[in-house]
């Protein structure tokens, strides 16, 4: 895991959550801003998957369980894809609420992935 990529993902996740919840409070349905921020988060998670494949070969190994890290990463990516598809199918205000909660959940998962990669002792 690359630390600047982690901070970028975390910032996008938090911003995406606030954007989605803000549009929900404004009683707006999912639009380019809410779905676009979630799709950007998904693209960053896809980049993280590629980085996670390459980094151990370059000597950047996690201090915690690599299996646990992969489970968080794959689950986060699947959640983003499923949430974006749901928001496309059900165009309601509650979809924006769901996207906000999804982005918050991804932010928490990213913090846990950071702890697994950098903080845990082997």
Cα angle for residues 1, 14, 88 (degrees, 5° grid): 100
| Alpha-carbon span 94 to 16, nearest angstrom | 15
- What pLDDT score does 120 carry? 66
The mean-pLDDT minimum among 10-14, 50-54, 59-63, 85-89 falls in 59-63
List, for residues 65-98, the tens digit of each pLDDT value.
Answer: 889 999 999 999 999 999 999 999 998 999 999 9
Backbone angles phi, psi at 105, to 5 degrees: -65, -40
User: DSSP state, 120?
Assistant: S
**Cβ partners under 8 Å of residue 17, min gap 6:** 99, 100, 101, 102, 103, 104, 107
**Cβ partners under 8 Å of residue 56, min gap 6:** 62, 66
75: containing domain:
3-119
Question: What's the structural domain count of the chain?
Answer: 1
Which of 107, 100, 6, 108 lies closest to 47, judged by CA? 6
List, for residues 15-24, the tens digit of each pLDDT value.
Answer: 999 999 999 9
């Amino acid at each position: 895991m690359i630390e600047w990529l982690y901070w970028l993902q975390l910032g996008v996740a938090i911003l995406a959550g606030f954007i989605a919840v803000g549009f929900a409070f404004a009683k707006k349905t999912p639009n380019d801003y809410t779905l676009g921020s979630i799709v950007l988060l998904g693209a960053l998670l896809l980049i993280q998957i590629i980085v996670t494949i390459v980094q151990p070969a370059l000597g950047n190994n996690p201090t915690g369980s690599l299996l646990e890290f992969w489970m968080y990463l794959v689950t986060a990516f699947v959640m983003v894809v499923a949430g974006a598809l749901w928001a496309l199918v059900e165009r309601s205000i509650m979809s924006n609420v769901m996207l906000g909660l999804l982005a918050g959940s991804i932010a928490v998962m990213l913090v846990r992935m950071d702890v697994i990669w950098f903080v845990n002792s082997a």
